A and B are shown apart, each in its own frame.
Chain A
């Protein structure tokens, strides 16, 4: 069984490039070049140099002792929250900006939900002196004001997506429309492992640095590069795919993907895609998505804007369908409580996205011997408003 992409752009039944002809040349140009460019020695050198000196990698693998004691297991946190700009998103934008330069592109577009990917994109555009346009749902612009300000300060133009539900999926639609209208000079930096092939593979490759480092760090700290469990939250699924990537073929490592249950999977206010979704096509790939019987995409809900997406990447759909990954969900309340718990036990304020992965520890049982890695995908600064309101701080 292969869990990786085949030469037609599919992961089992999922993936492909379901795009209108207007996007075909752009996507085809990428498809033909991405592996060649990424594999090039000069690319690798520049990519790793920037990850080290600019992003601050390797990110620590931290044995959270008090948390470990509470849960009766060795809980390791992969500290993506310590990256420059505060989340794992920058790993991908560094990779894609270097790729865009090598394709001769002069203009960068991106979509963003919580604004983390928008900030990471605006950051690398400032770094390399490229024009940057970020599409963001009108609703998200209101609830993520600090990130909007950061993007503007970094020189990006933030364009509100006013169609549909005015959130992440609509921002993605607007970015795709921009790309259709600007086919030659523009590169679209998709922020997750979604979109038409080769995006899911390309983004996973750039994020795979997370599990590559984790393996080395586990050997140093435990003598064994294979933990018992690896946990990560899933919206589109980029931090999870980065966290899983080098463990996927280690079949004794259990992969746990935590979706946003919102107010509860059965309440109608949820983003738990594998529980509520069906197979279909969204944003250029065949995957699992939340939709009506008629095939209209349903608006998800999560307290965390970064998980508020009605689909998951095609590779996740494949891991789910084959049973290689365990897909679970955590409610808004459980995530917020887990965020507070980590803050008070370890002195780390996590992003609410990452708090979903932490919250699942409550539901697992351990014998004291297990090694468990949780991807702490981002820091909670951006979520202070939500935490303050919820806990009356």
Chain B
């Protein structure tokens, strides 16, 4: 059974952490993964940086830029991740924009993921139709999950279609916004989450965007299998005390 499937079968209130590869230090990528697992993270999303990250707010833009300035590339990332499965057991996804992936070659990318033990990916600007037509077979042949995003404006028909196309989980974006803002669970947000629950989808769900505290994490867990923290974690990373800052950050969510 895949690592992702096993996780969702055995666990509730799944805590997933996003961070940018090659940040704060170029070679911190696997160290952070290991420290996060030890501090209680259930799932990791490692961002491969892109020069023009339109869906991201200032924090992830800045971490991406620093990582690129330090020399990060997809090729280098896969070299770093060669050590991943010696040190990390929890499922790992790669998250990034479509252009670096296209230049690397989708098939090469999928093969490299399998080789280093990455379980799937999230590519926010890869459209469903293009995925279905051009890339779905390659992903499935390699046993990789491709995770799609759903927003409060996504229609029920489209959500059903996404549910049929993916085999990991569905990434529910809390509000239509870029990353790094604060989740406010209004009546609208609540009815959006409830609407998704009522659809009884095949895939589990995770809520992301705006999760930055124990309170917002717990709130999100009421409506989904877990939640994803990104910007708040990236902001908390202290280059001078990487492990310490990770531990301190994670403790807040593990109380």
Q: Does residue B55 face the partner (Cβ distance < 8 Å to A)? A: yes
The 8 A CB mask of B110-143 against A (1 = contact, 0 = none) is 0000000000000011110110000000000000
CA gap between A25 and B158 in the complex, in Å: 11
Q: Does residue B236 face the partner (Cβ distance < 8 Å to A)? A: no
CB-CB nearest in chain A for B124: A20
Q: How far is the CB of A176 from chain B (nearest CB, A)?
A: 4
Given A20-B124, A280-B99, A282-B99, the answer on whether A183 and B55 have CB atoms closer than 8 Å is no
Determine whether the beta carbon of B99 is less than 8 Å from that of A281: yes
Q: Which of A21, A176, A295 contacts B100, CB < 8 Å?
A: A295
Complex interface: chain B residues within 8 A of A293 (CB): 73, 103
Complex interface: chain B residues within 8 A of A176 (CB): 54
Given A21-B151, A21-B173, A294-B73, the answer on whether A180 and B178 have CB atoms closer than 8 Å is yes
Determine whether the beta carbon of B130 is less than 8 Å from that of A296: no
Determine whether the beta carbon of B54 is less than 8 Å from that of A173: yes
Q: Which of A8, A20, A181, A296 contacts B129, CB < 8 Å?
A: A8
Determine whether the beta carbon of B51 is less than 8 Å from that of A284: no
Q: Does residue B186 face the partner (Cβ distance < 8 Å to A)? A: no
Given A16-B127, A18-B127, A173-B52, the answer on whether A280 and B177 have CB atoms closer than 8 Å is no
Complex interface: chain B residues within 8 A of A150 (CB): none
Determine whether the beta carbon of A25 is less than 8 Å from that of B129: no
Determine whether the beta carbon of A291 is less than 8 Å from that of B99: yes
Q: Does residue A169 face the partner (Cβ distance < 8 Å to B)? A: yes
CB-CB nearest in chain A for B61: A163
CA gap between A9 and B51 in the complex, in Å: 25
Determine whether the beta carbon of A280 is less than 8 Å from that of B102: yes
Complex interface: chain B residues within 8 A of A25 (CB): 151, 153-154
Give the total number of A-B pairs whose CB atoms are below 8 A apart: 106
Determine whether the beta carbon of B148 is less than 8 Å from that of A177: no
Determine whether the beta carbon of A183 is less than 8 Å from that of B127: no
A 1-53 contacts with B by CB, 8 A: 8, 16-22, 24-25
Q: Which of A164, A279, A282, A295 contacts B104, CB < 8 Å?
A: A295
Q: Does residue B98 face the partner (Cβ distance < 8 Å to A)? A: yes
Q: Which of A18, A163, A169, A183 contacts B98, CB < 8 Å?
A: A18
Q: How far is the CB of A7 from chain B (nearest CB, A)?
A: 12
Determine whether the beta carbon of A297 is less than 8 Å from that of B55: no
CA gap between A214 and B54 in the complex, in Å: 38
CA gap between A4 and B101 in the complex, in Å: 28
Determine whether the beta carbon of B149 is less than 8 Å from that of A21: yes
CA gap between A296 and B101 in the complex, in Å: 10
Complex interface: chain B residues within 8 A of A291 (CB): 99, 103
Determine whether the beta carbon of A297 is less than 8 Å from that of B154: no
Q: Does residue A278 face the partner (Cβ distance < 8 Å to B)? A: yes
CA gap between A279 and B99 in the complex, in Å: 9
Complex interface: chain A residues within 8 A of B178 (CB): 22, 177, 180-181
Determine whether the beta carbon of A281 is less than 8 Å from that of B102: yes
The 8 A CB mask of B51-78 against A (1 = contact, 0 = none) is 1111101100100010010000111000
Q: How far is the CB of B161 from chain A (nearest CB, A)?
A: 12
CA gap between A291 and B103 in the complex, in Å: 9
The 8 A CB mask of B77-111 against A (1 = contact, 0 = none) is 00000000000000000000111111110000000
Complex interface: chain B residues within 8 A of A18 (CB): 98, 125-127, 130
Determine whether the beta carbon of A295 is less than 8 Å from that of B153: no
Q: Does residue B150 face the partner (Cβ distance < 8 Å to A)? A: yes
Complex interface: chain B residues within 8 A of A170 (CB): 52
Q: Does residue B192 face the partner (Cβ distance < 8 Å to A)? A: no
Q: Does residue B50 face the partner (Cβ distance < 8 Å to A)? A: yes
Determine whether the beta carbon of A22 is less than 8 Å from that of B177: yes
Q: How far is the CB of A30 from chain B (nearest CB, A)?
A: 14
CA gap between A281 and B52 in the complex, in Å: 11
Determine whether the beta carbon of A164 is less than 8 Å from that of B51: yes
Sample of 11 further A-B pairs with CB below 8 A, known A19-B125, A176-B54, A297-B51 = A18-B125, A20-B124, A21-B151, A24-B151, A24-B154, A164-B65, A173-B52, A281-B102, A293-B103, A294-B75, A297-B99
A sample of 12 inter-chain contacts (CB < 8 A) reads: A19-B127, A20-B125, A22-B55, A24-B153, A25-B154, A169-B52, A170-B52, A281-B99, A281-B102, A291-B103, A295-B103, A297-B99
Interface residues of B (CB under 8 A from A): 50-55, 57-58, 61, 65, 68, 73-75, 97-104, 124-127, 129-130, 148-151, 153-154, 158, 173, 176-178
Q: Which 9 A-B pairs have the closest CB atoms?
A: A295-B103, A295-B100, A20-B124, A294-B73, A25-B153, A21-B149, A296-B51, A20-B55, A295-B99
